[in-house]
Amino acid sequence: MTGSQLKRMWIVVIGLGFASMIIIGRLVAFQVVQGAHWKELGKQVQRINVVAKPDRGIIYDRNGAVLAGNSADYQIGVSPALITQAEEMATALAPILQKQRYELLALMQADTPYVLLAGRVSPEVAEAIRALPYDGIQIDPLPRRIYPQGELLCHVLGYVDFGGIGGAGLEGYYQTELAGEAASDVRSISPLTPQRSVIAREGADLVLTIDRTVQYAVEQHLQRAISEYGAQSGTIIVMDPRTGAIIAMANYPCYSPYEFYEAPENLLVNPAVSKQYEPGSVMKLVTMAAALDSGTVTPQSTYNDTGIIEIGGHRTFNWDRSGPGVTDMTTLLARSLNVGAATIASWMGPETYYTYLERFGFGRPTGIDLMAEAAGTLHLPGSEFWTESFIATNAYGQGIAVTPLQMISSVSAIANGGRLMQPHVVQEIHSNDRIFRHEPTVGNQPISATTAQQLNAMAVTAVSREVNSAQVADYTVAGKTGTAEIPENGVYLSDATIGSFIGWLPADAPEIVVLVKLDRMTTSPWGSMTAAPTFAELAEELVVMLNVPPDSVRLQADVIEVRGN
């Protein structure tokens, strides 16, 4: 071996030795010094996060018709690197997406891996795009709540925003139950690693107390009344006084829950449970109930009505400016005499009267299973807002604010033997193969069964003597009209009223109680000429739809049953 060859050999040996030292040093660094770091990084690379998302629960009417379900909109994107016919694709997509061709072309030629063309399109649009013969288009589903019945029950159902959050009504109140619960797990991608199942808790289904067919009829009658009497808005509630079940709840104007984002924000609120108003003379039913139950009066008690009474510096007049003289309690109710209501409230005194108002649920939410229920406004003696005159004005429904639901709930206690039932809209919750049924719940007993029976008879007389427009053929109706002035900026408007009527039937064994409320009527300011006939027309249809037998059939059946026993 020559000297030059030996020299080259040593150079190679030294080079290999140096390289080996570097490799060994790096191995020591990787495996010993940085071993923990690279071990953890390896775990992360070999693991993925798996998420299982639940479907939102379905909302059904009491007969199984779908009121709220699930579908999808679609997100449209492209991968510019995969597009080979950009100009043709832009020309085809422009009319489908209703966008300018040059805008789409610019996006398709962008130097990015992915470009969003449309954030949310309908299934029909997505299907039209899917049919195009081009590569590089990506169509991804986005969950979307659908409402097959359109605007029907809009305020009861509420809506779900694009983030999957219920924003009103049942969708908001039962958000947790309807949404379910997503599940996730970090798992290894190695086929040798045992894999655990990732199972989400599916959203619960709701079955309502409401029949969509009955609801549709109620909404049609409300819209007809709004048009016929030139009202701005209105509410109708139908309740079963025996259980507190809401049979129908309608408001006008309504909105489309599917397109909630196009509705004015104030229209998304349910007026039946969230908006307050002064009820007017329907409150005389509650005032009379308190007076009878407290022993302050009997149905035969009398007072001298001079047409005016002054309490706490406030002068109260009868609505027709009459002074009928000596008057009994039934006549007071039938003629809706403000002076009489103020008189018997003053006889009770503040402590007794307001105790009864609280027993009837005024000044607090009813607890119905709908989002954003208002409490109403009841100023009590001793508060900074209460004055002595309130005992007079509250007695005939002014100076006190209620929701339509509070008003019908309180009157339902009179129809139900003095028992105030918990109002509810959901009859059943179906969750994980289990069914939770709502059991009728007595919220309170503000008056005795005897008082309720006495007042029921008086309310029948009130309808038969003074409110012919509320009578229903073949059925005995009990009820009361109301006409309330509307306060704005501390004064009552002289040209606007709220007309209402609450009635129940059959009066001796009520199966339904109905509240009709019309706001700012233009054809007549009186509830007796607007809300009462609306009640009668609706009730005539309801008794057929709900299979409520007329008095003759029902009483005959009672006679046969008694004879059989």
User: Is 181 part of a structural domain of the chain?
Assistant: no
One domain, residues 99 and 243: no
Same domain for 238 and 139?
A: no
142 and 236 fall within a common domain? no
Question: HSE on the CB side for 253, CA within 13 Å?
Answer: 9
Q: What is the pLDDT of residue 437?
A: 95
Average pLDDT over residues 410-414: 98
- At 98, the amino acid letter reads Q
Domain that residue 131 falls in: 70-147
* Number of domains into which the chain is organized: 2
Residue 36 lies in a domain: no
Q: Would 59 be classed as within a structural domain?
A: no
CB-based contacts of 45, cutoff 8 Å, min separation 6:
none
Residue 12 lies in a domain: no
What's at 249, amino acid-wise?
Answer: M
Average pLDDT, the chain: 90
* pTM (two decimals): 0.87
119 plus 236 within the same structural domain: no
Give SS3 for 290.
helix
Spatial neighbors of 284 by CB under 8 A, at least 6 apart, are: 332, 333, 336, 341, 395, 396, 397, 480
Which position has the token pair 């020299």? 7
In this structure, the answer to whether residues 295 and 423 fall within a common structural domain is: yes
For residue 252, the Cα-to-chain-centroid distance in whole angstroms is 14
Please answer whether residues 215 and 152 qualify as being in contact, where contact means their C-beta atoms are separated by less than 8 angstroms.
yes
Asked if pLDDT for residue 109 goes beyond 70, the answer is yes
pLDDT in the model for residue 69: 97
The rounded distance, in Å, linking the Cα atoms of 271 and 253 is 10
The highest-confidence range among 91-95, 182-186, 413-417, by mean pLDDT, is: 413-417
Last residue of a domain, one of 147, 170, 195: 147
pLDDT for res 559: 47
pLDDT tens digit sequence for 292-330? 999 999 999 999 999 999 999 999 999 999 999 999 999
Calculate what percentage of the chain has a pLDDT beyond 70.
Answer: 87
Q: Quick one: pLDDT at residue 558? A: 56
Tell me what the mean pLDDT of segment 71-79 comes to. Answer: 92
Query: Is residue 39 packed enough to be buried (19+ CB in 10 Å), middle (13-18) or exposed (0-12)?
Result: exposed
pLDDT tens for each residue of 50-66 = 445 788 999 999 999 99
Q: What is the mean pLDDT of residues 86-108?
A: 91
Question: Going by C-beta distance under 8 Å and a sequence separation of 6 or more, which residues neighbour residue 265?
Answer: none
Q: Where does the pLDDT of residue 34 fall: very low under 50, low under 70, confident under 90, or very high at 90 and above?
A: low
What residue has token string 């140096």? 18
Please enumerate in sequence order all residues whose Cβ is within 8 A of that of 103, keeping only pairs 6 or more positions apart, or say none: none
User: Would residue 156 count as lying in a domain?
Assistant: no
How confident is the model at residue 407, as a pLDDT? 98
Average pLDDT over residues 328-340: 96
Return the closest-CA partner of residue 332 out of 315, 310, 363, 309.
309
Q: Is residue 461 part of a domain?
A: yes
Residues 228 and 141 in one domain: no
* C-alpha to C-alpha distance for 442 and 412, rounded to whole angstroms: 12
Q: Is the pLDDT of residue 172 over 80?
A: yes
Single-letter amino acid code for the residue at 119: G
Tell me: do 367 and 272 sit in the same domain: yes
Which pLDDT tens digit goes with each residue over 489-523?
A: 889 998 899 999 999 999 999 999 999 999 999 99
Whole-number Cα distances in Å, 458 to 47, 218, 289, 329, 464: 76, 27, 11, 8, 10
d(CA 138, CA 93): 13
Query: In angstroms, how far apart are the furthest CA atoms of the chain?
Result: 146
Section 253-257 average pLDDT: 97
Say yes or no: 136 and 219 in one domain: no
Give a yes or no: residue 366 inside a domain.
Answer: yes
Domain of residue 125, CATH code: 3.90.1310.10
> Is residue 185 included in any domain, yes or no?
no
What does the block give as tokens for 265?
A: 């924000």
Q: b or e along 401-430 (b: 16 or more beta carbons within 10 Å of the residue's beta carbon)? A: bbbbbbbbbbbbbbbbbbbbbbbbbbbbbb
pLDDT of residue 433: 86
- Residue 526's SS3 state is coil
Helix (H) / strand (E) containing 298: none
Could you give the CA distance from residue 92 to residue 128 in angstroms, rounded to a whole number?
10
Cis peptide before 350 (omega within 30 of 0): no
**pLDDT for position 299:** 96
378 — alpha (psi -120 to 50), left (phi > 0) or beta?
A: beta
- The 3-state DSSP composition of the chain as helix, strand, coil percent (nearest 5) reads 40, 25, 35
Looking only at the bridges linking them, the beta strands covering 59-60 and 205-208 are: parallel
Boundary of a domain, candidates 94, 123, 147: 147
Mean pLDDT to the nearest integer, 168-181:
95
Q: How far apart are CA 353 and CA 349, in angstroms?
A: 6
Task: Give the domain CATH number at 513.
Answer: 3.40.710.10
Q: Are 315 and 309 in contact (CB under 8 A)?
A: yes
Q: Are residues 374 and 507 in the same domain?
A: yes
d(CA 352, CA 342): 14
235 and 336 part of one domain: yes
Same domain for 369 and 442, yes or no, is yes
pLDDT greater than 90 at residue 557:
no
336: alpha, beta or left? (left if phi > 0; alpha if psi -120 to 50)? left
Helices (runs of H) and strands (runs of E) counted in the chain: 19, 20
* pLDDT at residue 25 is higher than 70: no
Neighbours of 176 (CB within 10 A): 11
| 65-69, 147-151, 516-520, 548-552: least confidently modelled range | 548-552
| Distance, C-alpha 35 to centroid of its chain | 59
3-state secondary structure of 160: strand
Residue where a domain stops, chosen among 109, 131, 147: 147
Place of tokens 């709502």: 438
SS3 553: helix
Does residue 217 share a domain with residue 139?
Answer: no
